[in-house]
Amino acid sequence: MKRAATPGSNGAPEWVASEERSNVLALRLMAWIAINLGRPLTRWLLHPITLYFLCFAPAPRRHSRRYLGRALGRPATWLDLYRHIHAFAATVLDRVYFVRGQLQAFDLVHRSAQQVYATLAEGRGAFLLGAHLGSFEALHALGDSRPDLRVTMVMYPDNARKIHAVLQAVAPDFHLAVIAIGRSGSTLQIRDALDAGGLVGLLGDRVLGPDTARTASIELPFLGAPARFSDGPLRLALLLRRRVFFMVGLYRGGRRYELRFAELADFRQPPDDPAARERLVQAGLAAYVAQLEALCREAPYNWFNFFDFWGEDAQV
């Protein structure tokens, strides 16, 4: 069932105005500490930082508790909340080292990437549809180790500018290729990046705003309750006739990250029938939500959407 965006639901201005701003502030703080103190000592400092946010950030704590209750299948304890916030802080810290090219600090394992590499060998590029789950920067680190693997991120414009400014400050040689969502010419930029044989990454677990003629938000079951997701990335892949892969860089604790890939849809030769194309889009979106749900249950402390994802505040 489709519906328009409403305030307080997933995709409301709440995450744009609040969550992203706090993400940038956290990144600035962690970047300064990481560069000046090094990773081993900085990781010790994550504990008081985590405790501070656990005690003095009631809204993220409330949203974390609701999400974890669904992912864990039981009421979340304070220890669960602590682990959730600590995992987020750890991935923010590690983002600094990834963009500085300090890969020796990590144990990176990647699985099921053969289909992605095979697509790149065709020279057509592919879409990577991720989520605010684990670390997308782990993919950039893999790209640095493979010169033929070029990654371009499609992001919300204001957030892209702020995040990129911080990362450039801590790693002047780092270049994050970014295409701003919804701007004139963005589709052509995405096509050019794909035609160059690169990967185009999007995060599909947030809805930017009201439905349009081109994209729609769709309610699907997610962790036991209806949640809204956008079919926009899949429609774009259909328009450009590309494959779409789910990508995640799971944080496994310590210095361990696990990169995983899974095909969601193959639009390279779409059917002529409009109804058949629509079914492919909806099947791809359902596969994306199913992958995300399975990973949230497998690694529940890896999902970092500290806002009212299910629109529950309006119901109380």
SS3 220: strand
pLDDT(62) > 70? yes
In CATH, the number for domain 13-309 is 3.40.1130
Cα 18 → chain centroid: 17
For residues 130 and 260, is the Cβ–Cβ distance under 8 A? no
pLDDT of residue 290: 98
- Give CA–CA dist 8/305, Å, rounded: 13
Mean pLDDT for all residues in the chain? 86
pLDDT at 24: 66
* pLDDT tens track for 79-88: 999 999 999 9
Q: What is the mean pLDDT of residues 58-76?
A: 97
208: left (phi over 0), alpha (psi -120 to 50) or beta: alpha
Q: Is 198 helix (H, G, I), strand (E, B) or coil?
A: coil
CA–CA dist 98, 144 (Å, integer): 10
Q: Each residue of 146-157: pLDDT tens digit?
A: 666 788 989 876
